[in-house]
A and B are shown apart, each in its own frame.
Chain A
Amino acid sequence: MYRLGIDVGGTNTDAVIMAGRSVLAGVKAATTEDVTSGVIEAMEAAISKAAVERSKITHVMIGTTHFTNAVIERKHVNPVAAIRLCLPATACLPPMVDWPEDLRQTVGGHRYLVRGGYEFDGREIAPLDIDELDRIAADISAKELKAAAITSVFSPINAAMETAARDHLMKRCPGLRVVVSSDIGRIGLLERESAAIMNASLLELSGRTVDAFGRALQAAGLSCPFFITQNDGTLMGAEMVREFPVLTFASGPTNSMRGAAFLTGESDAIVVDIGGTTTDIGAIQRGFPRQASTVVDIGGVRTNFRMPDVFSIGLGGGSLVRGTGGATSVGPQSVGYRITKEALVFGGGTLTATDIAVAAGRASIGNPAAVASLSGELVGEALAEIVQMLERGVERSRISPEPIPVIAVGGGSILMPERLGDLRVIRPENFAVANAVGAAIAQVSGEVDRIFSLANGLTRETCLKQAEEEAREKAMRSGAAPATITVIEREDVPLAYLPGNATRIHVKVVGEMDGVHA
């Protein structure tokens, strides 16, 4: 019984084969424009390196930044009809009001406000305006829009109106893909609505991508189910990703941090992922990435996804090193993926952080003779600057004064010294493919976040229990083994400034994928 973990990054596609807790093989390949050929190359290399029988691979887990990059680069993003069930409320701030202008234009700026929506206590703001939906349906057909996102005020409390509006639109516009916001996000109208609109704009891309992954696996003779990792480091089935691409937005850093924790057996640590251009630093608590407390921007759009608190600094293997004696600077400019041509040790003409590491005897890659003539003073200063940048970043992410370890992963981790201040540095085996390992060990989650009314004799305890039941139910539907499900977040926040009786409950559970015993 083996698992295949694949991570599709902007530059590299990594693959690992795992059996239980051990990594049998890990390989890196270049990410390709079509995504699929890079995946096939990495996967085939890993399978042959591990020399396992294909029929014994029972699960394939894929992590991808494909959808995040599509939004950031404004590529493959389709126009969407953004429909809000709300009037007469909320008219002061229409959909996409806080988006960057270029992304709003890419998505088309088709905004419709309709009578409907709910109050916080479940009353209707207004009955759903079906006639207006009919007019919108005609407009959608005339503009030949392929996707719509429907957001009702307080749909996390009651999704009925969103569902009714979706069913009505789909009858009027056959073939229209419709996303409802209650499937995607939490309380916070603008953030949830923006996520639903982005999701709708990515549906065509997610369909193509899931198909491509499926074909790649089939071509490799793998017939097992495959899963894709989402923001919190847990899995969703491939069919879910087709419907909800936005839920993968932060999976890259999450996988790298979870993989690093797993490879070292450390559950509390700071993970430093050094790439070619930037270094991502984040903290692991009890095996999971610490979540950011503030809202997270994706391509300039404010969202309320729970994302890992990752801090990026402009330091990587390809960072430019400039100056001499007393004024040496490192980064943030970098030669990036051209490092294998431009760095001195690779026969190029640009002094990079990697050249400094080689000159200092930290690593032996490329041609060390090419950096033999660098002045000792320059090397010393650049090295000190690199260490200081890393130290400052790590201090920011420290979760306690306890001397917890620093785990160095990523292709540029040769820049990391043996110790960082009072913290020891661990370099796990397979450090270069931590992302793919993170994907391979991912768990399944279920989450509930909504406002419960404490009327009719309901107590806080019964509501918490009900929320937990619903979260378990969701996790099991996603494939979690019931016996392994545990609660990892349980929180209730009474609504402020209102006389009693309403509380916002958030419960999250995780469990092992059924049939996987890592």
Chain B
Amino acid sequence: MTSFQVMPQDMEAIATGGAFLGTGGGGDPYIGKLMAQSVMAEKGPVTVISPDDVEDDWLCLPVCMMGAPTVMVEKLPNGSEAGSALAQLEAFLGRRADALICIEAGGLNSTIPFAVASATGLPLIDGDGMGRAFPELQMVSFTMHSVSATPMVLADDKGNSSIINAISNRWTERLARCQTVEMGGAALVALYPMSGAEVKRGILRHTLSLIKEIGETISAERNAHRNPAEALIRRLGGKRLFSGRVADIDRRTVGGFARGQALFKGMEADEGKSFRVDFQNEFLICRGDDGAPMAITPDLICALDADGGLPVTTEQLRYGLAVTMIGLPCDEQWRTPAGLDLVGPAYFGYNHEYAPLHSLS
């Protein structure tokens, strides 16, 4: 058994690491961290188990937030929504869950499952469905393994809930998205019911220990007055894309998502160059002066504040902010044709062919 305990104080590191793998989106994990800490103070620590220790016949359920993180920082959850969504999905399936899954190891959803795991006493499996943040519900590795997102339960703060059954995970996304708006812009959901065997096939492994380690690295480097970029690149096999200041930023709403692009003026070693990063909630494509891509989704593009060393979200980008952009290779599952169909550049409307991070200059 390679399990470990997560204590309230560990949530600091998990939230920071989750913000980093949020690739600019996914929402600030702060609220989720506070929720997890306050539940843990009462109900105790969370046990995180390796996917290898999950029994094939277990029922495993992801629980997460769906909707706008900007709403969540203002209208905090009641606290019972996630537990209620979980209980109703269990009731519908006629079976209790054996373990919980984190659907998204980036942003707010990296911390929410810890609150639910502590409240229910269920173990949390070390891994997730994205290895980062993505904007839509079907964008998880489980989709590639034919796991259905439904039956899915959405629950709000007032006690409303609904069960969705859909013919595909894309349809689930469309139907659930409308309901979150009616529920006040954010809802807590339980979905993708799957067996332990399915978990072992589909899950991106050990991403929860990874975000904890990333958070600990960021904190240790900052305490030593170093920018964490170099240490993270070494540890994660990533690549320094550039350091620069925001010279222009353009945002607009297209099809319900915050899209935009930021232009950066290079600094330090990148003095004299310019860079462009396109985002749709998350950073999706990074290009140099000549327009040639330097990193493309689903590879990760992560931003650190060049001064303070903390992760930066697309919402925090503003004129003059200095950032260091880091590229990280995505999980191999995302580089398959099925993976690129779900989250490759074409899905987000870019004309570039995907090419792996380390093949680009």
Contact = CB atoms under 8 A, between A and B. Distances in A.
Interface of A: 86-93, 97-98, 117, 119-121, 123, 125-126, 153-154, 187-190, 285, 290, 293-294, 309, 311, 392, 396-397, 399-401, 491-501, 503-504
A82 to B, nearest CB: 15
Interface string B63-81: 0000111110111111110
B315 A498 contact: no
16 contacts: A88-B159, A90-B78, A90-B157, A91-B80, A92-B35, A97-B34, A120-B68, A120-B71, A123-B184, A126-B158, A190-B34, A309-B307, A399-B320, A494-B253, A496-B27, A497-B135
A496 B315 contact: yes
Nearest to B253: A494
Given A93-B34, A189-B76, A496 B310 contact: no
A504 B318 CA distance: 14
Contact of A494 (B27, B73, B185, B251): B251
Nearest to A283: B320
B29 to A, nearest CB: 13
A125 B34 contact: no
B322 to A, nearest CB: 8
Nearest to A92: B79
Given A93-B31, A93-B76, A120-B68, A494 B320 contact: no
Contact of B256 (A154, A311, A491, A500): A500
Contacts, number: 147
B87 interface: no
B258 A90 contact: no
B interface, over-half SS: loop
B75 A153 contact: yes
A476 B31 CA distance: 37
Contacts of B271: 401
Contacts of B27: 496
Contacts of A397: 307
A494 to B, nearest CB: 4
A283 to B, nearest CB: 9
Nearest to A154: B74
B25 interface: yes
B315 A497 contact: no
Contact of B257 (A89, A153, A493, A497): A497
A496 B69 contact: yes
Nearest to B158: A88
Contacts of B70: 120, 187, 495-496, 504
Interface residues of B, number: 54
B252 interface: yes
B315 A293 contact: no
A286 to B, nearest CB: 10
B181 interface: yes
B223 interface: no
B359 interface: no
A27 to B, nearest CB: 36
B312 interface: yes
B160 to A, nearest CB: 10
A293 B321 contact: yes
B148 interface: no
Contacts of B239: none
Contacts of B157: 88-90, 125
A126 B78 CA distance: 13
A123 B75 CA distance: 13
Nearest to B31: A93
Contacts of A190: 31, 34, 73, 76
Contacts of A92: 35, 38, 76-79
Nearest to B35: A92
B68 A495 contact: yes
B245 A399 contact: yes
